[in-house]
Structure 1
C-alpha cells in the first residue's frame, strides 16, 4: 500500500490487469452479491431527483422495489446503497437482448435524459473506496465473477487504474490521478 494525499492505495490497482468483459460475465456484478451499490449522501439525493427521468428505462420489478423502498436504502450498518430486487439484482438493472445486465441510470445518461452517469462506486468497479475519518482506503476488489475481465486485462495489458481512469478522476480529481500514474511508472521502471 502507498499513500496519495488523504488516500491509502492498494498496490493491486497498479499491479493487476482488468478490462470488463461483458460478453463473458453478462454484467454479473450488478445481479450477484448481497448488497446494492454503495452510495454517498449526495448520490442518494441525486438518485431521488433524477428518478422520474430514469424510471422509464427500468424494469417493472425495479420500479416496484424503488417505489416501495425508495431510490436508495440505509443498511443496518447505517450505510446508503441502491435497493435490490429479491436480494439479488440492483433495482436499476436492465437487460439487453443478449441478457446482459446494464445500468438503467447509465442508459438514461447515454440517451441524454440526465447528466449523471451512475453511482461512482459502480463506475469505479473493481475498485472499492472505504471512507474513514482521516483517509480513504482505495482497494482492488477481487471477485471470481470477474476472472474473464482479469484475463482480458492481461491480454490487453491494461492495469486496473487505467481501466477506471475516468472514474478515479471523477472521485479524486485529475491531480490525484496524475500522482497515481507517477507512482505506477516509478514502480514499473525499477
Structure 2
C-alpha cells in the first residue's frame, strides 16, 4: 500500500494485469453478485435526471424493477446502489446476444446522455471505499474475471492502465500522473528477471 494525496492505494493495481474479455465472460459482473453497482450521492441525482432518456434502451424487466424499487436503492449494507432484477441482474443491464452491456452506456454511446455509467462500473476491477479522511483504492479479485486476468497478462496491461480513463474521471489527471510515477519507480526497483 502507498499513499497518493488523500488516497491509500494497493500496489496490486500496479502489479496485476487485467483486460476485460467480454467474449469469454459475457459481462458476468453485471449479472452475478448479490448487490447492485455502488453509487455515490451525486450519481443518484444523475440517475434521477437522465432516467427518461435511458429508459428506451432498457429491457422491460429492468424498467419494471426500477419502477418498483426506484432508480437507485439503499442496499442491505446501507450503501447506495443500482436496483436488481430478481436479486441478480443490474436493472440497467441489456443484452447483445449473450453478452451483458450497460443500458446507460448505450444511451451515452448514442449521444442521448453525457454520463457514461456509474464510476464504480467504469473503474472495475478497482473498488474505491471512501472514509472520512481518505479513500482506499483496491484491486477486487473475482473468479468470474479469470479470463480478463489471463488476457491482461497476455497483453501485459496492468490494471491501472486498463482503467486509466475511469481513474482520471474519479481522481483527476494530476493524481493519475502521480500514480504513473509510482508505477515507473516500482518497475525500476524490481529485481531483474521478475515479471
What range describes the TM-score normalised by the shorter chain of this pair? over 0.9
The residue number in structure 1 matching 2:6 is 6
The residue number in structure 2 matching 1:20 is 20
Cα shift at 1:75:
1.8
1:46-94 Cα deviation digits (max 9, x unpaired)? 0011000000000000000001111000123321000000000000000
Instruction: Give 4+ residue runs of structure 1 displaced > 6 Å after superposition.
Output: none
User: With structure 1 as the length reference, what TM-score do the two structures score?
Assistant: 0.99
Instruction: Name the CA distance, whole Å, in 2 between partners of 1:185 and 1:76.
Output: 40
Secondary structure class of the residue paired with 1:38: coil
Count residues with an aligned counterpart: 189
Please state if 1:188 is matched with 2:187. yes
Instruction: Name the CA distance, whole Å, in 1 between partners of 2:143 and 2:75.
Output: 25
Instruction: Name the CA distance, whole Å, in 1 between partners of 2:76 and 2:32.
Output: 20
Instruction: Name the CA distance, whole Å, in 1 between partners of 2:91 and 2:100.
Output: 11
The residue number in structure 2 matching 1:106 is 105
Unaligned runs of 5+ in 1: none
The residue number in structure 2 matching 1:170 is 169
Instruction: Name the CA distance, whole Å, in 2 between partners of 1:10 and 1:135.
Output: 13
1:6-48 Cα deviation digits (max 9, x unpaired)? 0000000000000000000000000000000000000000001
Instruction: Name the CA distance, whole Å, in 2 between partners of 1:116 and 1:14.
Output: 27
Backbone CA RMSD of aligned residues: 0.5
Unaligned runs of 5+ in 2: 190-195
User: With structure 2 as the length reference, what TM-score do the two structures score?
Assistant: 0.96
The residue number in structure 2 matching 1:30 is 30
Instruction: Name the CA distance, whole Å, in 2 between partners of 1:120 and 1:92.
Output: 14
